[in-house]
Amino acid sequence: MTGGATAIPEVQALLRVLAAGRDVAEMGTAFGETAATIAETARSIVTVERDPERVAVARERLAGLGNVEPLEGDVYEQLRGRGPFGLVFVDGGLRPVDQSRWEAILALVEPGGLIVKDDMSPGRPVEGDDVREFLHRDPRLAAAEILATHDMAVIVAVRR
């Protein structure tokens, strides 16, 4: 994270690759920096932010990008019934983690679609880590942990 709000460049670069040609949902727009990066390759991106001041900054940054739809409000309310998406970037609104949130996220993802969760400490055990337990053990997913930097990992899961 940079300034506590934006994915680091290594994660943005990974997302730009994984998003290519896909319809993407981003949970947590913040200031729209990563949405702008994803928009370079994605077919479309819907991005949701609940903080009105951040939404205003993001809308200014993303204005003119025809494949970006910035939405204001709670991500679960705004994305309910939308999709399916080829990639969901889980970067806000996950905590407190519970099964109903995972189910809502899974419902957004098409078969063969990806869930990307960044900001993970590398190499930690799955057991006892609520995010890893879901992404690595849910039988509807297959997941891999990828090092973005020496001290930051990303988990990428595909919906079977």
Ligand X SMILES: C[S@@+](CC[C@H](N)C(=O)[O-])C[C@H]1O[C@@H](n2cnc3c(N)ncnc32)[C@H](O)[C@@H]1O
Per CB under 6 A, residues contacting ligand X are: 5-7, 26, 28-30, 33-34, 48-51, 54, 74-75, 91-93
Residues 6+ apart with CB under 8 A from 18: 87, 114, 116, 156
Block residue for tokens 């960044």: 118
Give me Rg for the CA atoms of the chain: 15
CA distance 81 to 84: 9
Minimum distance, C-beta of residue 4 to ligand X, in the bound complex (Å):
7
Q: Would you say how long the chain is, in residues?
A: 160
Closer to ligand X by Cβ: residue 50 or 136: 50
Minimum distance, C-beta of residue 107 to ligand X, in the bound complex (Å):
16
Q: Does residue 12 sit in helix, strand or coil? A: helix
The alpha carbon dihedral of 60, 65, 66, 69 has a sign of negative
Closer to ligand X by Cβ: residue 78 or 109: 78
CA distance 80 to 88: 13
Minimum distance, C-beta of residue 102 to ligand X, in the bound complex (Å):
14
Closer to ligand X by Cβ: residue 34 or 113: 34
Closer to ligand X by Cβ: residue 75 or 156: 75
Nearest residue (beta carbon) to ligand X: 92
Closer to ligand X by Cβ: residue 34 or 86: 34
Minimum distance, C-beta of residue 56 to ligand X, in the bound complex (Å):
12
Minimum distance, C-beta of residue 72 to ligand X, in the bound complex (Å):
8
